[in-house]
Amino acid sequence: MKPLAEIAAVLCGIQDPKTMDQFLRELFTGGELATLELRWRLLKDLFDGTPQRKIAETHRISLCKITRGSKVLKKRGSVVRKILEAARGDHHEHEPHDEPVPPP
């Protein structure tokens, strides 16, 4: 089994959030966890329709870093988007946008 597949299998086997938290803290450094948390926050912000420039300003990161997250959410069959939809209780496919749509 390839290392990434093995890690994925281990993660799938952890059912308890406290155990998962401890596992992640043991596996990653503080800096790595901060990077992971930032990536998750920006994905959630993008999913919620926050403009990329606002995300860049809020989190003090370049637009280039946000572009990857935007591409992930726009990709057909995005697992990240499906997870965010499920967390929010969406029953239809959510199509995020980069800038707010002005009212008619």
pLDDT score for 79:
97
pLDDT score for 104:
43
Residues 23 and 70 sit within 8 Å (Cβ to Cβ): no
CA atoms within 13 A on the CB side of 71: 6
Residues 98 and 70 sit within 8 Å (Cβ to Cβ): yes
pLDDT score for 97:
46
Q: How many domains in the chain? A: 1
Residues of the chain with pLDDT under 70: 91-104
In-domain check, residue 93: no
Query: In the chain, what percentage of residues exceed pLDDT 70?
Result: 87
The reported pTM is 0.79
In-domain check, residue 73: yes
Q: What count of other Cβ atoms lies within 10 Å of the Cβ of residue 65?
A: 15
pLDDT score for 90:
72
In-domain check, residue 104: no
| Domain span holding position 47 | 3-88
